Amino acid sequence: MATTNTIPLHIKSVYKSFKDKKVLNDVSLDVNEGEIYGLIGLNGVGKTTLIKIIINLLSQDAGEVEFFGINSKVTESRKNINYLPEKFYPSQFLKGKEFLELALSYYGKPFDMKKAEDKAAALGLDPAALQNTITKYSKGMGQKLGLLSMFLCETPLLILDEPMSGLDPSARIQLKDLLNDYKKQGKTVFFTSHILSDIEEICDNMAVINNGQIIFKGQPKDFLNKYNGKNLERAFLESISS
């Protein structure tokens, strides 16, 4: 069994309230090395609050978050993670390649144009677009550029908030292939999504959050069996209504 020193993401007994409204209530979960882990929940049930606490944009009232055994509030802990928000807007003043160079510089890594072009093509982003200023990018292109930067930085843990948002069906398939390749390298992916079919297809483990509490943790197949669902969407609806 993995120890907390090797667990990429360890969340223990996290609580958060805003005035008299309890948003997170004793939330705990572990994301293990070399897996894709999905978090699902309706809007307003605490999903975004939890993500903000994980990446230290918001302080919890109680509980702890660790990256590879180091408290998330310690700056050193973040050298092993990369985060992409749902609404990602890269700087309009940069060219695509300049943004990638900047992202890689944060991790002390060199920029390789050939590697960037190959990964861009794998994501369905025209490699020639890397020479363009981001003002010429569509929303989907900007999302792909953010994802591209994460794959190039190659951190041990990726944290993605709704990564499929803004992507067309072809790009979603390409992203899922890249996420599976990332896992095969022994790296870890934690992401939220409202596209439950994606969770069912690529996640090794998943959690369901509802009204600030984790109501399920485990494999998608076990979730289906527990709630007698023909698919994840129906099982999810059953879980939050039971």
Q: What is the DSSP letter of 128?
A: G
Predicted pLDDT at 52 = 93
Query: For residues 170 and 173, what is the distance between their CA atoms, to the nearest angstrom?
Result: 5
The secondary element (H helix, E strand) that includes residue 59 is none
CA angle 97, 100, 101 (to 5 degrees): 85
Question: How many domains is the chain built from?
Answer: 1
- Residue 2 covered by a domain: no
Q: In this structure, are residues 65 and 54 in contact, taking their beta carbons and an 8 Å threshold?
A: yes
The dihedral region occupied by 176, where left means phi > 0, alpha psi between -120 and 50, and beta the remainder, is alpha
4 in any annotated domain: no
Whether 206 is covered by a domain: the verdict is: yes
3 falls within a domain: no
Could you read off the pLDDT tens digit of each residue along the chain, which spans 242 residues?
A: 444 568 999 999 999 999 889 999 999 999 999 999 999 988 878 888 999 999 999 999 999 999 999 999 999 999 999 999 988 888 889 999 999 999 999 999 999 999 999 999 999 999 999 999 999 999 889 999 999 999 999 999 999 998 988 788 898 999 999 999 999 999 999 999 888 888 889 999 999 999 899 999 999 999 999 998 788 888 999 998 86
In a domain, 1, yes or no: no
Write the Ramachandran bin of 173: left for phi over 0, alpha for psi from -120 to 50, otherwise beta. Answer: alpha
Range of the domain at 149: 9-241
Cα separation of 237 and 76, whole Å?
Answer: 40
Residue 228 lies in a domain: yes
Tell me, yes or no, whether 114 lies in a domain. yes
**Nearest-CA neighbor of 70 among 13, 4, 26?**
4
Q: Which H or E run contains 149? A: helix 139-153
Q: Identify the CATH number of the domain in which residue 82 sits.
A: 3.40.50.300
Residue found under tokens 């989907």: 140
Pairing of strands 21-31, 9-18: antiparallel
- Specify the pTM: 0.93
Q: Is residue 146 part of a domain?
A: yes
